[in-house]
Amino acid sequence: MLNRRTLLTALGAAVFGPSLGLAFEVRPYDPAGAQAAIASGKPVVLHVYADWCLQCHAQKSILETLKTTGTYDDIAFFRVNYDDQKDVVAKLDCPRSTVIAYKGGKEVKRMSWGMTTASVEEVLKAAQ
């Protein structure tokens, strides 16, 4: 027989678990983690971001909204800090406000400055 706590935990997991467990996580870029994810061949997206950049904030907001859909949960997301990771930005050869998709260990698409859901999703779909 279930006690009240067990029952409430099970009910909460059934109601809220699917929506909470689906959201992808955008992790801070670390070279070893990102390169391992790319080398694995799995879908990876890098977001080159600066705190002061309006386009970057728009892209971040779009990514936050897309978290709730569950559509892109198979993608590993990393955020490159434009101001603090200049060496990475130089290797990527891109401006701030850039979203880059990798699939099968290779870059498959990139977009800079786009601030619409469609422009961000185009990159994410290329990674899948």
pLDDT of residue 47: 98
pLDDT of residue 59: 97
The pTM is what?
Answer: 0.81
pLDDT of residue 22: 54
CB 85 within 8 A of CB 29: yes
Chunk the chain into consecutive blocks of 10 residues (it has 128) and report each block's average pLDDT, rounded to whole numbers: 45 41 84 96 97 97 93 96 98 97 98 97 97
Q: Write the burial class of residue 109 (CB in 10 Å: 0-12 exposed, 13-18 middle, 19+ buried).
A: middle
Q: What angle do CA 93, 95, 99 make, to 5 degrees?
A: 90
Give a yes or no: residue 54 inside a domain: yes
pLDDT of residue 76: 96
Give a yes or no: residue 66 inside a domain: yes
Give a yes or no: residue 31 inside a domain: yes
Is 53 annotated as catalytic? yes
Is 94 annotated as catalytic? no
pLDDT of residue 15: 39
Give a yes or no: residue 6 inside a domain: no
Give a yes or no: residue 2 inside a domain: no
Strand 76-81 relative to strand 44-49, pairing: parallel
pLDDT of residue 28: 97
Residue 49, phi then psi, degrees to nearest 5: -135, 140
Which residue among 38, 45, 50, 56 is the active-site one?
Answer: 56
Give a yes or no: residue 18 inside a domain: no
- In terms of residue numbers, what domain contains 122? 24-127
C-alpha–C-alpha distance, residues 18 and 21, integer Å: 5
Give a yes or no: residue 104 inside a domain: yes
pLDDT of residue 23: 75
Task: Give per-residue pLDDT as tens, 95-114.
Answer: 999 999 999 999 999 999 99
Give a yes or no: residue 12 inside a domain: no
Q: How many domains does the chain have?
A: 1
CATH number at residue 31: 3.40.30.10
